[in-house]
């Protein structure tokens, strides 16, 4: 009897729509038009000067996997952004030149093509802008780029590939960046998860537990305020109160780019699509599991110095935490099979 | 609405002596105006109409300020006391940008 009354109330609420924490009115039914803001476009946006085509994807694919783009000839883009490990590296923080442990986690490349800012601190604006960064960084791939372009310009295989991809353009930082960016924005895409299928109307794509998790995600748990539609990011910067901000000289994050107090210890909101594949979590790799992530938010953070005002203790029950984790696992698209490319010698 | 019409009336009456108030809203992660022309001495009130926090700052030479973070419904005012171009942003959401041109 009690259950029936509750169900009746829930149905009435569903029909009227629920206002989410980020101010949207949703009806939580598969395929409901109120949810279409969460659907990603079929393809990622690209700059006018770099329209994707087969030759550009092919060249970018080769460059992405070529370790000769690093100073020691042993690190490619795929070393830290490994497609088999969610386009990341499964390490808490990245390992750079000669396995030097770096300060921040390798971010996944999944769906970064949809974002308006790149890197944990947002210092690069798009994928083209970002591509040369790791090669040039002496703690990362540590490449002498003058030597790199000398070599590429003397390699018959690459000369033919560049000529096909960017006819009439030189082999330089611009064309190399454009090719890598094209590969990333056409390949590292997650937009066919159970959640996406549910959005498009497949009732069975998500379990009741996962739908409840989505309700919490946009409601009580306050997640969608930052992990916003459609790519689960607001392209913004927030201090999450991680324990690592409590050390003597913490990583200031975005503050180094924008010296505004709120940005001290703030890092970019990453996408959550394919999140199940990109453990460990946070920019410092401090959470091993999605449950640990949820528990961090439930506590409202560890270190309250300069904490994002959007953070507050959530009071989630164990069941609610499990629902949130189950929902995040509904954001995993079928695995993208990536073939190791035949590199020009 | 009142605040937007009021300065127009006053501005037509006389010159620099009277300062005007302008309202800029923050809604759906955007400023309600991409650009705004005001006069030296005028005040701009920045209001947050989103159910989460925003920031407003400028690092421009003409007027540098940081309004911190504020919640839905609250607002903060800035008086623009020098002429020139002021680029205004939200540090949390870098896509939120506008330009205020302060005229003599
Ligand atoms: Cu904002």
Q: Which domains are assigned to chain B?
A: 19-103 (2.60.40.420)
Q: What is the mean pLDDT of chain B?
A: 87
Query: % helix / strand / coil in chain B, to the nearest 5?
Result: 10, 50, 40
On whether any CB of chain A is under 8 Å from the CB of B94, the answer is yes
pLDDT of A15 > 70? The answer is: no
Q: Is the dihedral of CA B71, A262, A321, A323 positive or negative?
A: positive
Reported as a pLDDT band with limits 50, 70 and 90, residue A17 is confident
Confidence (pLDDT) at A4: 45
* Mean predicted confidence (pLDDT) in A206-213: 98
pLDDT of B60 > 50? The answer is: yes
On whether any CB of chain A is under 8 Å from the CB of B73, the answer is no
Confidence (pLDDT) at A13: 45
Percent above pLDDT 90 for chain A: 93
Beta strands B35-39 and B97-103 are parallel
A254 to B91: CB separation less than 8 angstroms, yes or no: yes
Q: Which residue in A23, A258, A263 is closest to B50 by CB distance?
A: A23
A236 to B93: CB separation less than 8 angstroms, yes or no: yes
* Mean predicted confidence (pLDDT) in A316-324: 98
- Contacts of residue A317, Cβ cutoff 8 Å, sequence gap at least 6: none
pLDDT of A321 > 50? The answer is: yes
Instruction: Name which of B48, B91, B95, B96 to mutate to probe chain A: the one with the most chain A Cβ atoms within 10 A of its Cβ.
Output: B91
The rounded distance, in Å, linking the Cα atoms of A239 and A309 is 9
Q: Is A149 exposed, middle or buried (0-12, 13-18, 19+ CB in 10 A)?
A: middle
pLDDT of A21 > 90? The answer is: no
Ligand 1 centroid vs A266 CA: distance in angstroms? 14
Question: What is the distance in angstroms between the Cα of B88 and the nearest Cα belonging to chain A?
Answer: 13
Confidence (pLDDT) at A16: 56
Ligand 1 centroid vs A221 CA: distance in angstroms? 20
pTM of the model: 0.90
Q: List pLDDT tens digits, range A91-106.
A: 999 999 999 999 999 9
The yes-or-no answer on residue A140 being catalytic is yes
**Chain B contacts of A238, Cβ < 8 Å?**
92
pLDDT of B4 > 60? The answer is: no
**Chain A contacts of B92, Cβ < 8 Å?**
234, 236-238, 262, 266
Interface of B with A in 6-65 (CB under 8 A): 29, 50-53, 55, 57, 59
Catalytic residue among A128, A140, A184, A320: A140
Task: Tell me the two tokens of residue A175.
Answer: 């064309």
Chain A residue whose CA is closest to B90? A236
């Amino acid at each position: 009897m009690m259950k029936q009354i509750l169900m009746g109330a829930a149905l009435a609420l569903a029909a009227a729509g629920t206002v989410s924490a980020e101010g949207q009115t949703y009806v939580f039914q598969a395929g409901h038009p109120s949810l279409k803001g969460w659907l990603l476009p079929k393809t990622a946006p690209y700059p006018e000067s770099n329209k994707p085509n087969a030759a550009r994807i092919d060249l970018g694919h080769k460059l992405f996997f070529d370790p000769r783009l690093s100073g020691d000839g042993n690190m490619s883009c795929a070393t830290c952004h490994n497609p088999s490990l969610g386009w990341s590296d499964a390490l808490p923080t990245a390992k750079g030149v000669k396995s030097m442990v770096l300060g921040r986690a390798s971010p996944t490349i999944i769906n970064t093509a949809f974002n308006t800012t790149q890197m944990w601190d947002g210092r690069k604006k798009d994928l083209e802008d970002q591509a040369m960064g790791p090669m040039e960084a002496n703690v990362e791939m540590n490449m002498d780029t003058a030597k790199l372009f000398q070599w590429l310009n003397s390699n018959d295989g690459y000369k033919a590939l560049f000529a096909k991809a960017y006819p009439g353009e030189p082999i330089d930082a611009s064309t190399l960046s454009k090719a890598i960016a094209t590969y990333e924005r056409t390949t590292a895409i997650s937009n066919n998860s159970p959640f996406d299928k549910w959005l498009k109307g497949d009732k069975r794509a998500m379990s009741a537990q996962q739908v409840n998790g989505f309700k919490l995600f946009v409601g009580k748990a306050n997640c969608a305020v930052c992990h916003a539609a459609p790519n689960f990011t607001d392209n913004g910067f927030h201090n999450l109160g991680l324990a690592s901000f409590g050390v003597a000289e913490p990583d200031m994050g975005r503050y180094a780019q924008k010296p505004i107090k709120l940005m001290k210890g703030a890092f970019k909101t990453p996408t959550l699509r394919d999140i199940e594949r990109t453990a460990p979590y946070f920019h410092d790799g401090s959470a091993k599991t999605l449950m640990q992530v949820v528990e961090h938010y439930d506590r409202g953070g560890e270190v309250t110095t300069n904490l994002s005002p959007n953070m507050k203790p959530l009071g989630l029950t164990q069941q609610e935490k499990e629902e949130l984790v189950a929902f995040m696992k509904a954001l995993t698209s079928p695995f993208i099979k990536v073939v190791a490319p035949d590199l020009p010698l | 609405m009142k605040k937007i019409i009021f300065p127009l009336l006053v501005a037509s009456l006389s010159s620099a002596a009277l300062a005007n108030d302008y309202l800029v809203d923050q809604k759906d992660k955007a400023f309600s105006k991409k650009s705004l022309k005001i006069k030296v001495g005028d005040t701009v009130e920045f209001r947050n109409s989103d159910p989460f926090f925003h920031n407003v700052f400028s690092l421009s030479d003409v007027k540098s300020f940081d309004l911190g973070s504020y919640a839905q419904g609250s607002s903060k005012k800035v008086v623009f006391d020098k002429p020139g171009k002021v680029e205004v942003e939200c540090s949390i959401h870098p896509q939120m940008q506008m330009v205020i041109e302060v005229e003599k």
